[in-house]
């Protein structure tokens, strides 16, 4: 009978946040064991104890005997291969009736219904949390675009661009400040291949040290969009020329399926294969969440997922392969475009997106953003915070509560990195029914057509993600209500392969 993964009572964190314990205790669920054990579960926001730094992983292990799971530190080691498929931007409540293959996969295996994204729920932030198993406050990709503390007169860091990421090494000492799954795998003597369909920067962040690791990342944007361009000619010879990037990205999705099934899973298969599909995120943005284009994109992604599952089932490692299906965030519809910079300037704040003689405050936008005074100024931050909290368009403000009275602490959402801004805002959103009767709608500051989908904030329909896993001999036809997050993916992959995850 399936069981959780446990460690004996006593090795527990005693932290308390608010009035709720950060940990939960439960009896062991294996029939032959009645001993009370401590359920390993990710801590509540802000817990950074050594216990959780060492133990953060999804509770998925299936122990064959009570004696086996009593042994502290026991590892899964259940599989030889892991295949991860990411559906960028997919909301769990949009699967049924649109994606039959994924729906069946989640129904047949273990589905984490309370899986969550990270904040901000932006793709490159999410990508780095998946690839490192850490929060943004640890890995340093704090938003999709950010100004760099200590170099605020310099250019904006656009994490969609490989060049901007590479320059972070000189500007800030490192691109990512946590080890990646790829780096941990190479230490364990294991390999990894990623097939990525998003921006070049996102493709880099799935394995930012891929060249040093001797691993492979392929981007559908070609040789200029990957740190391992030498693999591109062989893939083009096998799968044909690069696809068009029309929206919906049906050609991109189909091409990705060919690379996955004809190359990654068929020729010298890596121990970990990551396939990152760009849909339905792109179509949600530019066609609308409830649109014919989005439906076509979801069907195309579902078809490719079925092809990947069939290739795994027909391959030599079928009985020793785990498959994870997940999304990085959801999306909500947009109802109004707010010129936040214009409103700030109208009220006397010299705000803008780039440094200049007439700019004192640097800001970014979307449905969340950051504000950074070019010259450190706590009084200006306090004034900005008060201004934001008086605006109906603003939903939440994060800052140092000692500086901005009434603000939520940045550490509560893991925005406590040296690169983090002193002031973050989230645009107002709610659960109002949007187009097609789908809940979740909010205002934003631009970036996609009005009415298109958006993400980045903390609305539940942005934060709730898909997370399902099929493990040979593992839990089947079950849903799990235990909280899980993007940061749990990398530790779980390593644990499945039999290796520890050390922060």
pLDDT tens-digit readout, 300-333: 999 999 999 999 999 999 999 999 999 999 999 9
- Report which of 389, 422, 426 is spatially closest to residue 403, judged by C-alpha positions: 422
Is residue 31 classed exposed, middle or buried when 0-12, 13-18 and 19+ CB atoms within 10 A define those classes? Answer: exposed
pTM of the model: 0.86
**Given 3.40.720.10, 3.30.420.40, 3.30.420.140, 1.20.5.510, which CATH number is that of 81-141+176-331+455-497?**
3.40.720.10
Task: Give CA–CA dist 307/288, Å, rounded.
Answer: 27
State the span(s) of the chain assigned CATH 3.40.720.10: 81-141+176-331+455-497
Q: In this predicted structure, what is the pLDDT of residue 502? A: 72
Cis peptide, bond prior to residue 248, ω within 30 of zero: yes
Q: How far is CA 412 from the centre of its chain?
A: 18
Task: Give CA–CA dist 457/367, Å, rounded.
Answer: 6
Task: Give CA–CA dist 214/364, Å, rounded.
Answer: 36
**Given 1.10.3470, 3.30.1360, 1.10.1740, 3.90.1200, which CATH number is that of 334-452?**
3.30.1360
Element (H, E) at 439: strand 439-444
Question: Across residues 73-101, what is the average pLDDT?
Answer: 88
Give 310's contacts (C-beta < 8 A, 6+ positions apart).
none
Task: Give CA–CA dist 287/265, Å, rounded.
Answer: 32
Tokens of 87: 């559906």
pLDDT at residue 487 is higher than 50: yes
Of 112 and 4, more confident: 112
Question: Across residues 21-28, what is the average pLDDT?
Answer: 30
The fraction of the chain above a pLDDT of 70, given in percent, is: 84
Confidence band, pLDDT 50/70/90 cuts, at residue 503: low
- Report which of 227, 246, 113 is spatially closest to residue 166, judged by C-alpha positions: 227
- Report which of 397, 409, 371, 327 is spatially closest to residue 45, judged by C-alpha positions: 409
Task: Give CA–CA dist 459/463, Å, rounded.
Answer: 6
User: Which of 47-56, 115-124, 262-271 ranks highest by mean pLDDT?
Assistant: 115-124
């Amino acid at each position: 009978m399936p069981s959780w993964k446990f460690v004996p009572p006593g090795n527990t964190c005693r932290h308390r946040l608010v009035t709720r314990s950060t940990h939960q205790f439960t009896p062991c669920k294996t029939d032959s064991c009645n001993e009370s054990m401590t359920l390993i579960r990710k801590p509540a926001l802000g817990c950074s104890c050594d216990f959780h730094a060492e133990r953060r992983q999804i509770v998925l292990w299936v122990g064959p005997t009570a004696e086996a799971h009593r042994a502290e530190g026991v590892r899964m080691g259940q599989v030889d291969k892991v295949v991860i498929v990411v559906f960028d931007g997919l909301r769990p409540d949009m699967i049924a009736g649109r994606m039959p293959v994924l729906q069946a996969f989640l129904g047949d295996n273990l589905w984490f219904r309370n899986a969550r994204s990270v904040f901000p729920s932006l793709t490159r932030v999410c990508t780095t949390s998946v690839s490192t198993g850490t929060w943004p406050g640890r890995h340093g990709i704090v938003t999709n675009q950010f100004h760099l503390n200590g170099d605020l007169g310099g250019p904006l860091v656009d994490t969609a661009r490989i060049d901007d990421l590479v320059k972070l090494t000189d500007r800030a000492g490192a691109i990512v400040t946590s080890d990646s799954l790829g780096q941990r795998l190479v230490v364990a003597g294991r390999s990894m291949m990623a097939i990525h369909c998003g921006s070049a920067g996102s493709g880099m962040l799935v394995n930012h040290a891929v060249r040093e690791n001797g691993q492979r990342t392929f981007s559908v944007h070609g040789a200029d969009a990957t740190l391992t361009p030498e693999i591109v000619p062989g893939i083009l010879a096998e799968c044909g020329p690069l696809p068009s990037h029309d929206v919906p990205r049906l050609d991109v999705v189909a091409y990705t399926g060919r690379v996955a099934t004809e190359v990654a899973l068929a020729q010298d298969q890596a121990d970990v294969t990551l396939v990152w599909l760009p849909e339905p995120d792109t179509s949600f943005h530019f066609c609308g969440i409830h649109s014919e284009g989005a439906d076509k994109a979801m069907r195309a992604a579902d078809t490719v997922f079925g092809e990947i599952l069939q290739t795994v089932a027909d391959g030599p490692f079928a009985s020793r392969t785990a498959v994870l299906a997940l999304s990085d965030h959801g999306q909500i519809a947009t109802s109004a475009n707010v010129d936040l910079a214009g409103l700030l300037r109208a009220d006397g704040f010299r705000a803008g997106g780039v440094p200049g003689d007439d700019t004192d405050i640097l800001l970014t936008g979307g449905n969340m953003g950051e504000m950074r005074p070019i010259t450190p100024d706590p009084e200006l931050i306090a004034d900005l915070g008060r201004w934001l909290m008086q605006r109906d368009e603003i939903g939440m403000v994060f800052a140092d509560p000692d500086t901005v009275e009434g603000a939520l602490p940045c550490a509560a959402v893991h925005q406590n990195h040296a690169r983090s801004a002193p002031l973050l805002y989230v645009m107002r959103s709610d659960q109002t029914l949007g187009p097609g009767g789908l809940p979740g709608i909010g205002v934003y500051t631009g970036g996609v057509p009005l009415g298109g989908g958006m993400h980045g904030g903390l609305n539940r329909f942005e934060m709730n993600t898909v997370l399902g896993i099929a493990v040979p001999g593992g839990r089947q036809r079950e849903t799990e209500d235990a909280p899980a997050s993007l940061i749990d993916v990398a530790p779980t992959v390593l644990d499945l392969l039999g290796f520890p995850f050390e922060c």
